[in-house]
Amino acid sequence: MEVLGYIGYGVLVFFAVAWTFCVRTQLAAGLHTIMGALFFVVSAILIGVLEINKLHSWWVLPSGFVIVMICTVILSTEIPLLSSFVRYLGSIYASLVRIGIPAGKVSAAQTAADIETYERWVQKEDQRSEDSEIVECLKCETKNRILSQKLEEASREGRKPVCKNCGEPLTI
* Whether the predicted pLDDT of 125 surpasses 80: no
Distance, CA of 67 to CA of 72 (rounded, Å): 9
Give pLDDT, residue 77: 85
Instruction: Specify the higher pLDDT residue, 120 or 93.
Output: 93
- If pLDDT is split at 50, 70 and 90, which confidence band does 133 have? low
Distance, CA of 39 to CA of 63 (rounded, Å): 9
Instruction: Specify the higher pLDDT residue, 163 or 58.
Output: 58
* Whether the predicted pLDDT of 144 surpasses 60: no
Environment class of residue 87 by beta-carbon count within 10 Å: exposed (0-12), middle (13-18) or buried (19+)?
middle
- If pLDDT is split at 50, 70 and 90, which confidence band does 119 have? confident
Distance, CA of 113 to CA of 125 (rounded, Å): 18
Of all residues in the chain, what percent carry a pLDDT higher than 70?
Answer: 74
* Whether the predicted pLDDT of 102 surpasses 60: yes
CA dihedral for 52, 58, 68, 27, sign (positive or negative): positive
Q: If you count DSSP H runs as helices and E runs as strands, how many of each does the chain have, helices first?
A: 6, 2
Q: What average pLDDT score do residues 89-108 get?
A: 90
What angle is formed at CA 111 by the lines to CA 106 and CA 116, rounded to 5 degrees?
Answer: 130
* Whether the predicted pLDDT of 60 surpasses 80: yes
- pTM (2 decimals)? 0.67
Q: What average pLDDT score do residues 11-38 get?
A: 92
Return the minimum-mean-pLDDT range out of 83-97, 141-155, 156-170.
141-155
